[in-house]
Structure 1
Amino acid sequence: MNVSLVNAFVANGTGGNPAGVVLHADELTDTQKLHMAQVVGFSETAFVSQGEDADFNVSFFTPTGEVDFCGHATLATFSLLYQKGVIEAGDYTQKTKAGVLGVRIEPNGYVVMNQRLPEFIQTFDYAAVAELLGMETEYLSTTHLPIEAVSTGLADVIVPVPAGSLDQLNIDQERLYQFSQEHNVVGIHAFELNSQGSQITASCRNFAPLFGIPEESATGSASGALASYLTKYHVVETGIELHESRTHHFVFEQGRAMNCCSQLTASVELQSGVITSVMVGGIAQEFGQKTVPI
């Protein structure tokens, strides 16, 4: 089988997070998909087949198993379908284990993905998370912001960190693995807010050792969760005013500490103070192909 190698959430033609994309995967078994994901070796590989209740069925496999949803692999998938002329600009649906989700492709190739409405799952005290980051509890608490597990398809623990500390995090991968198992979360999505006037709302890092990902350079699902978190707590320092009934837009950078800086956009629609839509977008580029025997 042929696997397309696609960088998702590239910024000015560089960076991004690589995903494998397998088109025409209708006849593949889950065992074969897992094998291919392991051979490709990226954090996720997407497998695309003809849809019945949606335009396409898409499944996502890490090197360790299947996950319900993957934002950057979704972006890679629909960007590839568009670049290969399989689909045109417009609105489509994908059936995933996280539900049937919409995807819009703009004429310039920009892909915007619907995510599930946010689920705010559980808050954690600073002490429980500080040791995972290699940080003193008192220092982490200076953000005065909650630490909360949020899901718009996958549950990540959203962790605000003090300005200037993001690149210095020292993750205890084994402890985070155990913590993620215990609390049924993918991992940690840490962020620091950028100063007012910046075009970037927040800089982020994502750690998911439970799924074989020590660190990821762009995480679409967690970006939707972060945008929902920022909206819930009205946490913005870049000059954006949050209103009760309006679509709010955010720009995130991720991967800086990996020398692979990526850019992700997110929008959250509020109606009378209630989140009614979460979308994440970006640009993807194919950079190669790999043949995997099955």
Structure 2
Amino acid sequence: METEVILVRSFTANGRGGNPAGVVVNAPQLSQAQKLKIAQIVGYSETAFVTVDNEVDWQVSFFTTTGEVDFCGHATLAAFSVLYQKGLITTGKYIQRTRAGLLPVVVTSDGQVVMEQQLPQFLGSFHAREVSALIGIDAGVIESTQLPVEAISTGLPDMIIPVPFGYLDRIQPNQSLIADFCQKYELVGLHVYELYPPESELTASCRNFAPLYGIPEESATGSSSGALACYLSKYLPDESTSRERRDYVFEQGRAMQCTSKITASVTFQNSEIVKVEVGGQAHETGLRHITV
């Protein structure tokens, strides 16, 4: 069986950078084993498989090179960008069925895809000493941010780790230790960030490591960006902005020479988070035909 895989880069900045994903449209006949094999041949961090759903709009499954995951932000963006560019959808709101639940996706007239994520689960804090060796940054440096190290999920559980401005590119990840740590605490990966100065148009620059799932480093992660937006809205509330909605712009992939741009917003009602959204642009880069 030959399958067409559309190659896409998600969260591009001015058409450049971004995180690669594979997209397979309307392949309901593929088995789980075949999907995994295709994802392994493509070799990207995730490949999305899209089929029409009988109850909602689309069913989307996500495969890394090691297995299926519940949700993937950048592969969702890739999938709906492909559907839009192929004329299978127009601008508007759609519902995707994922293993993380039913999640809305909005496509705007300029082709931007905005994904609604699960409401945050704050899964617990860790001491800086517990993560220092994982990223090669002294615990005292992490503590100097006066911000917590905390596991948060808006679809996938990630550890959010702050470092001072100027330290992000100094990280020396220990992939083996990170994989063992994530397996022990049932995390997908580590999302490390440094805040930009307030006058910058960017909120933070980030790096993401998920070696447990075959991803040494990722240049754009949508689910982690949603988690980081919730983290910042909790620990760094900006009283100069609306109390109903806070918007963030994240940069990721700089250390990989593949800079990506990710937007995120958190909506509140009576001081409670009621909506988490992550958005960006995607660009098709090619096709592959794979026989499994």
Q: What is the CA distance between 1:272 and its match in structure 2?
A: 1.4
In 1, the alpha carbon distance for the partners of 2:84 and 2:40 equals 26
**Contact preservation (8 Å) 1:20, 1:73:** yes
Q: What is the CA distance between 1:139 and its match in structure 2?
A: 1.5
Overall identity of the aligned pairs, in %: 53
Q: How does 1:133-152 map to 2 (within 5 A)?
A: 133-152=135-154
Which residue does 1:218 correspond to in 2? 220
Q: Which of 250, 255, 258 is 1:257 aligned to?
A: 255
| TM-score, normalised by the number of residues in structure 2 | 0.98
- Describe the SS at the equivalent of 1:281: strand
Q: What is the CA distance between 1:135 and its match in structure 2?
A: 1.3
Which residue does 1:161 correspond to in 2? 163
In 2, the alpha carbon distance for the partners of 1:25 and 1:233 equals 43
- Describe the SS at the equivalent of 1:143: coil
Q: How does 1:1-294 map to 2 (within 5 A)?
A: 1-234=3-236, 241-243=240-242, 245-294=243-292
In 2, the alpha carbon distance for the partners of 1:287 and 1:280 equals 22
Amino acid at match of 2:267: E
In 1, the alpha carbon distance for the partners of 2:111 and 2:54 equals 25
- Describe the SS at the equivalent of 1:275: strand
Amino acid at match of 1:52: N
In 2, the alpha carbon distance for the partners of 1:135 and 1:285 equals 35
Deviating above 4 A after TM superposition, structure 1's stretches of 4 or more consecutive aligned residues are none
In 2, the alpha carbon distance for the partners of 1:94 and 1:53 equals 10
In 2, the alpha carbon distance for the partners of 1:54 and 1:100 equals 8
Q: What is the CA distance between 1:163 and its match in structure 2?
A: 1.1
Deviations 1:53-107 (A, max 9, x none): 3100000000000000000000000000000111100110100000000000001
Amino acid at match of 1:46: A
- Describe the SS at the equivalent of 1:292: strand
In 2, the alpha carbon distance for the partners of 1:25 and 1:64 equals 20
Amino acid at match of 1:241: S
- Describe the SS at the equivalent of 1:128: helix
| TM-score, normalised by the number of residues in structure 1 | 0.97
In 2, the alpha carbon distance for the partners of 1:267 and 1:78 equals 19
Q: What is the CA distance between 1:241 and its match in structure 2?
A: 2.7
- Describe the SS at the equivalent of 1:22: strand
In 1, the alpha carbon distance for the partners of 2:241 and 2:120 equals 17
In 1, the alpha carbon distance for the partners of 2:29 and 2:36 equals 14
Q: What is the CA distance between 1:242 and its match in structure 2?
A: 4.8
In 1, the alpha carbon distance for the partners of 2:54 and 2:227 equals 28
Amino acid at match of 1:248: R
- Aligned-residue CA RMSD (Å): 1.0
**Contact preservation (8 Å) 1:231, 1:242:** no
In 2, the alpha carbon distance for the partners of 1:251 and 1:235 equals 15
Alignment gaps of 5+ in structure 1: none
- Describe the SS at the equivalent of 1:91: strand
